[in-house]
Structure formats: C-alpha cells, structure tokens
C-alpha cells in the first residue's frame, strides 16, 4: 500500500476524504475516546491565498456541514499530562526498565535522529520543489509553519535537481541584515567557486565567476580587483557599490548561464529576513533595497525568463509583506505549501527511529501530528515535567489570545475549532483573517495551491479561499483558548446551574419516597420542559412530556405545573424529584 502524500494541483479535484477530525468548541468530555486522525498536513499553509493579490472577506456566519469524523484529541483532557506519563510508564514496564531511564533514552535517540539530517519520507514535496527549480521563468512562494522541515526538504531537492541547473541557494539566517540582492551575489560567488571542477559547468565557471567576484570584492569594501574577463568586468567592479550595479552583476551572470545552454535557479530560505528585511521595510534604506529586489525578481522570472526564483518563508503573513513592499502578487506563478509528515511516516519514525512503543507514539501523534520539531520539544518537556506535563504549554503563540478576543478573528477561529477551516469569500475586507495570518496563528489557502493531505475544503462551495490553522496542534490550542478567553467587551458566560434529580415512587399511592440515588442531569437546561427531555434522552418528546417534575417544599414534594418555569441550582441533598408514568417508562 502506498502511504505517501500526493500533491494536489487543484483542491477542487482532490479525492473526497474525511477532513481533519472535529474538535468541538466546548472540546469533548473526558470520556471521549482518543481517536486517530485522518491524514492531514500542511496546516501551515498560510496565506497561499494572498498570493493572488486578492484579499480577505468577512467570515460566513454559518459553517458548512461536514462529514462526521472521530475526535482526535480533547483539549483539557490531558492538562496534567497523565496520559503521556502513564503511557511512558507502561512502555518502560514492557521494556523492564525505569520510566525515567526509558524516556531519557527516547529523548537521546530523538536528538540523534534529528541531527542526522534525515528527511522523513515526503517525496512528493521534494518533487514539487525540484520542478520549480527546473522551471525557467517561474517565481514560486514556498510557505509552511516553523520547524516543519522546509530546509531539509530544500536540501533534498537541491541534491535531486538536474546537474544542468546552476542553483544559487541562499539562507538569510546566515546573513542577518544583508539585503536580498547582496545575499544572492555573495552566495553565487561561493557556489561558483565550489563548482569550478564540475564536469557539467566547470568550463563556464571562470567566466561567470569573474562577473560575480568583481562585484563581491567591491561590496565587501576591498576595492576593485583585477579580473581576467576584460574591460566589461573592470568597469562593473568600479561601480558595483550601488544596488543597481549589484543587480547588473547578477543580470550578467544569469544571462551568461543561459547563453551557455544551462539553466539557473535562485533559492532563498527564510526570505522574509532579507525581503523586506529585519525592520519589515520600516527603514527607508531597507525599503528601497526591497523594492529593487522585487523589481529584479520580476524581471528575471516573468519578464526575462532568465531564471527561476523560490522564496521560502515560515511567516504566514509573508505575502502581505511582499504586497506592501510593491510586489503584484499575480506575478507569483506557483505556491507550494509544506505540511507536516504524513501519519504513517510519522508513526514509523517515532517507533523505529525514536524508540517509542506504539501506544506512546500514538498519543504524541494525537496531540502534535506530523510536526517533528514540536514533538521533540514535547518529549523534552515530558522528561522534565513528568506527570505535570501540559501538552498545551509546549508551543507558545503570543498572538493567539488577541485573535480569540477579536470578534472578527474569533468567528474564523470558532469555525476552525469545529471543522478545521473557515471559508473566506474575499481577502480585502476581512480584518479577522488578516489578523490570524499576521499573528502566525494560521493563514489562507487558495484552492489551486500545491498542497499535501489537506481535507477537501472547496467542494460544494463557491468560496475559493479558506482560513486554516498553522498546524493541527494549533487547532487544538485554538479550541482550548476559545473556552477560556472571551471577545473584547464581553463577560465570561455564566455557568449553567447544576441540576440534580431523583426518581420518586409511591408504594402506598399517597406519599412519595426516593427510589435509587440522585444524579446530575447534564446539559444547558432553561426550564422544566428541558429537564423532562434531559432526564431520559431516549424518550420521544411526547413520552418525555408525561414525566412529572416535583420540587421540595416544607418537607414534602410539590409538582411543577409551569413548563416554562426556570430551574434553580440543586445538589444531591436538595434535588428535584420526578416520576415516569407507566406509559413512558422504559420507552425508547
């Protein structure tokens, strides 16, 4: 059986399958079974929608009916972490070892596996990245939540890319504060030096390197350098201090690569650090650098077909930042959303590589899904906290409370908690959706984005966008926060009164006596009529109407004659009484 993810070029044509398991807003009772969730992924899909330059709209007031799915986890059910620690104790017992030694060994193996740079099986995602690298003239935006392995996948794609493609792969984390164009220039210089001896491109490298090296020496403040490639390069070295001439050096390099019957690709990891930059374009000089970089990218891809460019970002609001800097988002030719590791591969990794037993692996997957890094953080926390471990304290999302308090954002979050997404009709006027994106709580996905293992969101709807959480675990955090934080200006809802009842019998036909033990009736009960229906939910409304409700008064029982009468809070010692006439007793 093939368990690998398949890319979806058009969400409308995805195979219909069960969406992410539902986590109700009131999150299920502690008796709800922890069920496995359907394959899902990419939650972090943020903002692919914005990629088309269209904007957000006010959320629907209703939610579209969804197929019934098992609940995967109950927020609050494991606040104490007892399920995790109990599973670890059981696994340790099965291995005839101490629980602390067992979990410490699991942590060690997990660290070794993560440091090995192994890419957990996501071949389709790697193929999508390679395809973009090998497609000349294409600007691709790659989005995904933090720590979902985008860099590992990028490295795998670089290894798989055709040797006929000269790839300049820059990581802005290694060059903080450097403008994007300068980072590309510096990386190109290093890349070409490393490829001098390559059979495929070695004969061209000296010519390409001359163009790049002359400009690099100048921007590094080393002054113009002697170059074997002639007057053109000497002239460029003398004026490369301006961003225009830095771009000219890259232009010339890309043109010469194309003239050599080769292809090129520029890959920028964590591109948001260089474009618009560390101050988010607030600094005037940085803003100017960003505009120049965007103009260059558009010229290299859409206009000149000189190269392909992949911008990788963990920020879900990144498309908005590009748009604010001046990019026409319609110029982005492809969006790839990197999601979490599929269920089969994640469970295999947790058991075979990290050493968890099946039960412990399933519990971790139930709460943290296919997010490897967050799962490792959770494991570290479990080692430290033991049975005080709180799965909802692993990931810090400072922007979530403000989103929950905002009425427009909350409307989306309530839909997400219930069904895993919230439909969006337009992006321009929806401040709530934009807020969710900017706070990295979630983002917007458009139906034609390349995604992996998303539910079939866009079936039977005219909406082309949907707000989704940044990860499955974020969906659980959203559900948890919705219970404890309320919209700005509103008070916490009042707890419904606890209503206890006991069954009454009359052996002598005159006086009532209590039969059996009192019990609490669950649910929100507004009046006597509601109480009748809640005492035995298996009864029809007609049968329930035959139940008589009594309240205590002066040591006896007085029948409640008014069905709309409000209920008071009671306890076991002072409870309502009820009788079930023979015609209703035992009826189903």
**What region, left, alpha or beta, does residue 63 occupy, with left being phi > 0 and alpha being psi -120 to 50 degrees?**
beta
Q: What is the pLDDT of residue 583?
A: 61
Q: What is the pLDDT of residue 32?
A: 35
Please state, rounded to an integer, the average pLDDT across all residues of the chain: 76
Among 305, 336, 367, the domain-final residue is 336
Please say if the pLDDT value at position 425 is more than 50: yes
Q: Is residue 165 part of a domain?
A: yes
Predicted structure pTM score? 0.62
Please say if the pLDDT value at position 39 is more than 50: no
Q: What is the pLDDT of residue 74?
A: 42
Please say if the pLDDT value at position 68 is more than 50: no
Among 267, 302, 336, the domain-final residue is 336
The answer for residues whose C-beta is within 8 angstroms of residue 197's C-beta and 6 or more apart is: none
Q: Is residue 368 part of a domain?
A: no
Q: Is residue 450 part of a domain?
A: no
CATH number at residue 246: 3.40.50.300
Q: Which of 174, 395, 188 is nearest to 300 (CA)?
A: 188
Are the CB atoms for 292 and 247 separated by under 8 Å? yes
CATH number at residue 525: 3.10.20
Sign of CA dihedral 552, 553, 558, 564: negative
Q: Is residue 277 part of a domain?
A: yes
Q: Is residue 96 part of a domain?
A: no
Please say if the pLDDT value at position 77 is more than 60: no
Please say if the pLDDT value at position 363 is more than 80: yes
Position with higher pLDDT, 263 vs 538: 263
- Which residues, listed in sequence order, are joined to residue 553 by a DSSP beta bridge? 556
Name the residue with tokens 């650090």: 273
Lowest mean pLDDT among 180-194, 230-244, 478-492, 510-524: 230-244
pLDDT band at 221 (very low <50, low <70, confident <90, very high): low
Give Cα separations from 261 to 40, 137, 398, 466, 529 (angstroms).
41, 15, 50, 42, 82
Q: What is the pLDDT of residue 268?
A: 95
Please say if the pLDDT value at position 243 is more than 80: no
Residue-range definition of the domain harbouring residue 548? 499-579
Lowest mean pLDDT among 162-176, 189-203, 244-258, 353-367: 189-203
Q: Is residue 5 part of a domain?
A: no
Q: Is residue 470 part of a domain?
A: no
Q: What is the pLDDT of residue 368?
A: 92
* Dist CA 149 CA 376 (whole Å): 13
Q: Which tokens is 353 given?
A: 């590589």
Q: What is the pLDDT of residue 206?
A: 72
* Dist CA 272 CA 150 (whole Å): 14
Please say if the pLDDT value at position 340 is more than 90: no
Q: Is residue 116 part of a domain?
A: no
Strand pairing category for 499-505 and 165-171: unpaired
Domain count, the chain: 2
Among 283, 301, 336, the domain-final residue is 336
- Which residues, listed in sequence order, are joined to residue 515 by a DSSP beta bridge? 503
Please say if the pLDDT value at position 164 is more than 60: yes
Q: What is the pLDDT of residues 177-209, one digit of tens each?
A: 888 898 998 898 888 877 776 666 666 767 777
* Dist CA 14 CA 420 (whole Å): 17
Q: What is the pLDDT of residues 342-360, one digit of tens each?
A: 888 899 999 999 999 999 9
Give Cα separations from 210 to 106, 182, 188, 545, 551 (angstroms).
51, 16, 11, 91, 95
């Amino acid at each position: 059986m093939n368990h690998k993810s398949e890319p979806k070029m058009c969400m409308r044509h995805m195979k219909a399958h069960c969406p992410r398991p539902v986590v109700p807003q009131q999150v299920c009772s502690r008796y709800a079974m922890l069920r496995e969730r359907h394959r899902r992924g990419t939650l972090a899909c943020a903002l692919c929608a914005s990629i088309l330059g269209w904007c957000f709209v006010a959320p629907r007031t209703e939610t579209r009916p969804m197929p019934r799915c098992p609940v995967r986890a109950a927020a609050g059910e494991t606040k104490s972490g007892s399920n995790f620690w109990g599973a670890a104790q059981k696994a340790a017992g099965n291995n005839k070892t101490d629980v602390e030694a067992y979990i410490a060994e699991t942590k060690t193996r997990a660290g070794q596996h993560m440091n090995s740079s192994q890419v957990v099986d996501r071949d389709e995602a790697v193929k999508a990245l390679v395809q973009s690298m090998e497609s000349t003239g294409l600007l691709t935006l790659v989005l995904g939540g933090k720590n979902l392995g985008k860099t590992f996948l990028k490295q795998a794609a670089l290894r798989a890319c055709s040797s006929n493609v000269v790839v300049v792969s820059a990581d802005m984390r290694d060059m903080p504060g450097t403008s994007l164009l300068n980072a590309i220039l510096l990386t190109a210089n290093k890349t070409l030096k490393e490829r001098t001896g390559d059979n495929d491109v070695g004969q061209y490298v000296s010519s390409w390197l001359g163009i790049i090296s002359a400009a690099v020496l100048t921007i590094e403040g080393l002054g113009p350098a002697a170059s074997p490639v002639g007057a053109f390069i000497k002239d460029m070295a003398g004026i490369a201090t301006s961003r225009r001439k830095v771009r000219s050096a890259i232009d010339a390099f890309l043109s010469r690569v194309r003239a050599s019957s080769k292809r090129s690709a520029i890959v920028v990891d964590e591109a948001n650090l260089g474009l618009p930059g560390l101050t988010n374009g607030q600094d005037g000089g940085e803003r100017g650098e960003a505009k120049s970089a965007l103009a260059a990218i558009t010229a290299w891809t859409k206009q000149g077909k000189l190269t392909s460019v992949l911008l990788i970002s963990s920020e879900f609001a990144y498309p908005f930042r590009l748009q604010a800097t001046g990019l026409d988002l319609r110029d982005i030719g492809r969006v790839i959303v990197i999601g979490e590791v599929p269920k089969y591969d994640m469970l295999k990794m947790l058991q075979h590589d990290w050493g968890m037993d099946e039960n412990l692996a399933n519990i971790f997957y139930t709460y943290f899904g296919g997010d490897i890094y967050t799962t490792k953080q959770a494991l570290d926390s479990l080692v430290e906290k033991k049975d005080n471990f709180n799965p909802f304290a692993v990931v810090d999302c400072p922007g979530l409370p403000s989103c929950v308090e905002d009425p427009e954002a909350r409307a989306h979050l309530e839909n997400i908690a219930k069904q895993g997404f919230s439909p969006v009709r337009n992006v321009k006027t929806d401040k709530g959706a934009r807020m969710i994106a900017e706070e990295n709580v979630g983002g917007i996905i458009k139906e034609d984005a390349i995604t992996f293992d998303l539910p079939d969101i866009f079936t039977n709807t005219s909406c082309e966008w949907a707000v989704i959480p940044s990860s499955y675990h974020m969906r659980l955090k959203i559900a948890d926060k919705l219970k404890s934080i309320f919209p700005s200006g509103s008070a916490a809802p009042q707890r419904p009164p606890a209503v206890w009842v006991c069954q009454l019998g009359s052996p002598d036909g005159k006086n009532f006596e209590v039969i059996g033990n009192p019990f609490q009736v669950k649910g929100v009960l507004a009046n006597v009529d509601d109480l009748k229906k809640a005492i035995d939910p298996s009864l029809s409304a007609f049968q329930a109407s035959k139940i008589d409700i009594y309240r205590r008064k002066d040591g006896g029982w007085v029948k409640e004659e008014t069905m709309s009468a409000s209920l008071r809070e009671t306890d076991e010692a002072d409870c309502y009484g009820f009788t079930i006439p023979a015609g209703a007793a035992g009826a189903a």
